[in-house]
Amino acid sequence: MVEEKVNIFTISELTDYIKDKLEGDSKLINIWVKGEISNYTKHSNGHLYFTLKDETSQIGCIMFKRSASSLKFEPKHGMKVLVLSSISVYKPYGKYQLVVSEMHLEGQGALHQKFLQLKEKLEKEGLFSKEFKKPIPKFPKTIGIITSQTGAAIKDLISNLERRFPNTIKLKPTLVQGNGAAKDIVNSIEILNKIQDIEVIILGRGGGSLEDLWCFNEEIVARAIFKSKIPIISAIGHETDFTIADFVADIRASTPSTAAEIAVPDKNELLINIKHLQERLLSKTKKTIELKEQYLISIKDRPIFKRPFDFINQYLQQIDDLALRSNRAILNSLELKRKGLEIITAKLHSLNPKAVLSRGYSITLNRGKIVKTIDDVKINDLINIMIQKGEIKSKVMEVKNGK
Amino acid sequence: MVNEKGSFEENLKKLEKIVKNLEGGELPLKETLECFEEGINLSKQCTRELETAKQKIEKIEK
């Protein structure tokens, strides 16, 4: 009857639906909730179970071991706390509960939130960026210190600075806790910035609770640190907790003595370093002198300095040798030239026209000119015919063209 | 040759440079000896400065 008309859920289906609704609601994820702790138990596996309540309501809470391990205090029944948490539904019991990821004591929780908000804001503005970090000088002659005149930090700083590298300290006693501390710190940073020879500033304080250190989380302090032209080392005495000042400072030291280590070099290390340099100087110079000395000795030992005439004789011998060779060369070339001359003479001889006559040829001359063609003579010309031994005078009887 | 007015940092840097220069190559004897003399003077001055350094604390009240 009824079953046919309406949709019926199983318990699991209904619980799943509720779980999805609650856990999917962004208003119920990562929310800050304040309340008083009751029914606190720490399970042997490290998870914390408790209830948070106010006058009229209560919600069961669980803080898993992973989150609980970063707690800075031991939660107790009756404590007023602020938690960062999300709603979840535990199906086996059909129970909604808060899964807590962070827990702070009330008051501190508010401060912590303020801290996170300011941190996020300044980070976005770039106040923590590496590009704005000023380099810390290696050997500052004058160091400015901003801290309380009475705290442990100042004694620590001064004694560590003196032990490492004694120099000039300009101390500006400053309130570092309570009302007016932030303003006083800002004022001190500004005053030290007006003193010419200060090369680095240490902003220090011994450890303390979040409230004690609060002035270092104030925006005006952060901005004054950022504005400072002199690099600032923050030394706000907590190994683990960072303040906003630590993020803005050019470098953060975890303790005042670490700040001294960052600010100045160690005198004894420097002395050792200088001694090493001296030794290197000495050994290299010694080596150079020894090398030059050895070179001098090796020169003195060379044969030329020991038996100089050997050297000269050697040259004399070379000269003789060269003379001999040049003589021979001259003679050779004369002989060659003489032979060449003979060949040329023989050639000339064979070309002498008289030599041709000896072979029975003759030369005909007409008025001293050699007759080569029939145009060179006319009838009745008196011509001379030269033969080997003598001359025949003749008269041209006839001129005939021949081939 | 040592600049008496040079800061500790300048003198130490100069000393380091001289040693490197000397070790870097074969300098003539004359220059080697000059470097040696300058280096020793610088190192003495740096050492003296460190050994005689005293802390001075000045309070700024305003």
Structural domains of chain A sorted by starting position, each given as residue range(s) with its CATH number in brackets: 2-106 (2.40.50.140), 126-265 (3.40.50.10550), 355-395 (no CATH)
In terms of Cα–Cα distance, which of A293, A286, A291 is closest to B40?
A286
Distance of CA A73 to the CA centre of its chain: 45
Q: What's the mean per-residue pLDDT of chain A?
A: 89
A364, burial (CB in 10 Å: exposed 0-12, middle 13-18, buried 19+): middle
| pTM, entire model | 0.59
- Chain B neighbours among A 281-300 (CB < 8 Å)? 281-282, 284-285, 288-289, 292
Q: Percent helix, strand, coil in chain B (nearest 5)?
A: 65, 5, 25
Residue B25 sits in which domain range?
8-52
Question: Does B60 reside within a domain?
Answer: no
Interface test with B, best of A288, A292, A293 (most B CBs within 10 A): A288
Interface test with A, best of B58, B61, B62 (most A CBs within 10 A): B58
Q: Does A99 touch chain B (CB under 8 A)?
A: no
- Number of structural domains found in chain B: 1
Report the SS3 class of residue B27.
coil
Question: Does B62 reside within a domain?
Answer: no
How does residue A257 score in pLDDT terms, banded at 50, 70 and 90?
confident
Is the Cβ pair B40, A169 closer than 8 Å?
no
Residue B1 confidence (pLDDT) above 50: no
Cβ–Cβ under 8 Å, residues A162 and A155: no
Q: Which among A139, A285, A289 is the nearest to B8, CB-wise?
A: A139
User: Following CA atoms B18, B24, B28, B29 in sequence, which dihedral angle do they give, to the nearest 10 degrees?
Assistant: 60
Question: Does B33 reside within a domain?
Answer: yes
pLDDT tens digits for range A81-118: 999 999 999 999 999 999 999 998 887 767 777 888 99
Q: How many CB atoms lie within 10 A of CB A75?
A: 19
d(CA B54, nearest CA chain A) in Å:
5
Question: Does B26 reside within a domain?
Answer: yes
Question: Does B45 reside within a domain?
Answer: yes
pLDDT tens digits for range A35-67: 999 999 999 999 999 999 999 999 999 999 999
